[in-house]
Structure 1
Amino acid sequence: MRRLAFVLLLQIAAACGQADDSSSSDLNSVVLDSSRSRWTQPRSIPVCITNRSALADELFNDIKNYVTSEYAAKTGVGFTGWGDCSDAQMKSSTVRVTFNLKHNWSSSSAVVAGGGLSMVGMSSRTCGADCVGGTMRLDIGSKGAYPASGSRYRDFTVSRTRATAIHEFGHALGLMHEHERTDAVGCDKSDGSVVSGSNYVYIGDYDSTSIMNYCHSGSITTLSKGDIAGVYYLYPALAAGH
């Protein structure tokens, strides 16, 4: 399992140090767990929701559309379905998403957004007790909805929730944390725990702009070229046809 560690405060946008990335290669840095199972049909990866009734349509449709369009347009990956989880899906290799109604998005002080957890690669296992049977957990506001239009917190919460979703779906494909590479220069969250070798594969140099990296400014919400290269490494047929 991999946990998304950047939980950001609206009033404290703490940024980690970033590496000076001067590489001209498009295959620029992502960490992959090559020992995990890969999806056999990456153009049609099943997704279901464990608690759809708790979500406002606007928030659910925004996350669904943002994730599906970002991955389809840039990698050819297809995340399909997005209905309520059936009994069969609760036992099968399906991306089962639980939206965790956690954050107070109506606070008059600092507002927290983001946070999540996911199994890495194709899996039928739950990601823990607080995933409520899901293989993925996305932390959202306690009311299951974005703040209303005009709220000072709306843009921030939408941006961070989208970024969290792209990050966690990256784990679901098999991408690992970029900042845990041994060569994560200038990143104070690096612990060097993801060592290149039999279990992990480094693609290019360390990528300070990866959506899988905790050490960026917090403004990144999309896949980097390195992230895309990582997906293509895991699923080479997508690169040939995209």
Structure 2
Amino acid sequence: MSLKQVWVVSCLAMGLGCGGAADEVSGEVEAVAPQLGTSKAELYLASSTIWPKRTFSVCWENPTYGDPTDDMGRYWTRQAVEGQWARVANLAFTGWGACTSAYSDVRIRIADANPITNWLGKGLGGVYNGMTLNLTYDVWANTVCGLKNSSGYYVNRETCTKAHAVHEFGHMLGFAHEQDRSERSTVEPTCTESSPWFTPTGDSKVTAYDTLSIMNYCYGDHWKHFGELSVLDVEGVRQVYGGRPGTLVGGAGNCLDTEYGSTADWTLTKLNRCDPSQPTQAWTRQSNNSIKLNAANRCLDVRNGSTTSGSQIQIYTCSSGAGGQTWIFDKAVISGNNGKCLGTVSNATTSGTTVVMADCNPSAVGQQWTLTTNGEIKNVNGLCLDVRSGNTADNTALQLWGCNSSASQLWSLQTGGAIRGLASKCIDVYGAGTTAGSSAVLYTCSGTTSQRWHLRGALKNPVSGLCLDSIGGASAPGTNQQLYACNGTAAQTWSYFF
């Protein structure tokens, strides 16, 4: 495992972003126990390191073009990063050519050494040799990587290259070693893996402790799955960077799709592995509470307009006012991309209560919201999300107030995750705060991270009172949907990235 210069560790331990020294190169001293990656992040997130953008330029410091091993290793790396992080979240990685004097967000050094990331999150931007990846494993090896068969061929080079790439790019996004979370002592008490050379700097636990995370040393099966992200890895990166616009994400992080990618009437819906190139995975919530497929004039529909439990869900030509095409997010949380949700001070639900960011808890009554057809966002007591005193100034606080259909209470979901309201300004977090208790405010729309939101909760058909449900509680690709009694289970929990 590579150690960084002491001042780098100190900087991160104090919770600083450390992004100001973009041209510094971290020194490295080899330690004894090679493991999967290094860095100082958590999934369990160091929120000050979140990148404010979603597209990143990547380059190689020292590629050897024409060398089969080098060429294939670089191909595997790109394939793994784009097939994991970029597939499940609203992220893009561009370039992938040789580095020049021009700026690149991620500059990768190829070396037969322990893979490392010298900086955390946005602090990596433009750093020379900021990340090191191993494509050969001739010199450096661990108990899995570098093994050869009887013919002298590496048996795990592809697996190791992909697993290391996904792990290190997790650090690049601001996530750290999962096993450094305090919960490990009770969840995985027999695991002895640790990162003792730095103080963990995470200030936001985005998901529950994840024994299967690609960022967790205690998990020994990274190699078997080519660096496949766990279900909670997927949930975590979507919480922080958002999902692909238009996706409705259900169980196990899979997306609502149509059978065979068809856009014909009567086509059933199903869960499918999220794929940004698949047009039948993009949906738009309409003002009349229908959910329209972007690829055609087809809406999410209950077959034959049935109101009975077990009725099949399909797509059908959109028809305004059709009961079988009406869906409301019932008591949904409004989640920000910093892993916090819109809530209220002390979880109160009374008029005049200030709206703040809170640790996401779908059971908390102060975080349960319902979107109406006229643009209101109501709480469990029927009060509306309101701009205090109708003030249009930036940083005006949001509150709960009696619904009156005024401009201070009318909101619209915008592509890219913004919620636009009074004076065409957006819901924001005061000072771009990332901690619980930060005030929710009205602010000029800018597309920043603190203005990106998504909905998570049940989709209820108000005509029947039943919810969109994955049959049998299953979450695997190919699972069809039905109407079913609302029960709050994972099979009825949908994240909508608008």
Q: Same fold by TM (over 0.5)? A: yes
Q: Which residue of 2 aligns with 1:134?
A: 129
Q: Which residue of 2 aligns with 1:121?
A: 121
CA contact (8 A) 1:182 1:194 kept: no
CA contact (8 A) 2:207 2:235 kept: no
Q: Map 1:1-242 onto structure 2 (within 5 A).
A: 6=35, 30-40=43-53, 42=54, 44-53=55-64, 56-89=70-103, 94-102=105-113, 115-122=115-122, 123-124=124-125, 126=127, 133-141=128-136, 151=151, 154-184=154-184, 185-186=187-188, 187-190=191-194, 193-194=199-200, 199-218=202-221, 219-220=224-225, 221-236=227-242, 238=243, 240-242=245-247
CA shift digits 1:117-158 (9 cap, x unpaired): 2421123363xxxxxx222111232679x9999856533222
Q: Which residue of 1 aligns with 2:255?
A: none
TM-score by length of 2: 0.35
CA contact (8 A) 1:179 1:190 kept: yes
* Structure 2 letter corresponding to 1:188: T
Alignment partners' CA distance in 1, 2:52 and 2:43: 19
Q: Which residue of 2 aligns with 1:107?
A: none
Coordinate RMSD, CA, aligned: 3.4
Alignment partners' CA distance in 2, 1:140 and 1:200: 33
CA contact (8 A) 1:6 1:214 kept: yes
* Structure 1 letter corresponding to 2:181: R
C-alpha deviation, 1:100, in angstroms: 1.0
Alignment partners' CA distance in 2, 1:137 and 1:147: 20
Alignment partners' CA distance in 1, 2:160 and 2:137: 15
Over the matched positions of the two proteins, sequence identity in percent amounts to 28
CA contact (8 A) 1:174 1:234 kept: no
Alignment partners' CA distance in 2, 1:152 and 1:179: 35
Alignment partners' CA distance in 1, 2:175 and 2:155: 27
Alignment partners' CA distance in 1, 2:130 and 2:166: 15
**Which one has a larger percent strand, Structure 1 or Structure 2?**
2
TM-score by length of 1: 0.68
CA 1:5–1:232 in structure 2 vs 1: closer, same or farther (change >3 Å)?
farther
CA contact (8 A) 2:137 2:157 kept: no
CA 1:152–1:30 in structure 2 vs 1: closer, same or farther (change >3 Å)?
farther
Alignment partners' CA distance in 2, 1:125 and 1:173: 14
Alignment partners' CA distance in 2, 1:171 and 1:97: 13
Alignment partners' CA distance in 1, 2:166 and 2:209: 19
Bigger relative contact order, structure 1 or 2 (CA pairs below 8 A, ≥6 apart)? 1
Alignment partners' CA distance in 2, 1:241 and 1:149: 46
3-state SS of the aligned residue for 2:51? coil
* Structure 1 letter corresponding to 2:90: G
Alignment partners' CA distance in 2, 1:170 and 1:161: 14
* Structure 1 letter corresponding to 2:232: G
CA contact (8 A) 1:5 1:115 kept: no
Alignment partners' CA distance in 2, 1:206 and 1:5: 24
Q: Which residue of 2 aligns with 1:18?
A: none
CA 1:231–1:5 in structure 2 vs 1: closer, same or farther (change >3 Å)?
farther
CA 1:7–1:190 in structure 2 vs 1: closer, same or farther (change >3 Å)?
closer
CA shift digits 1:55-88 (9 cap, x unpaired): 6212211211222122222223211110111202
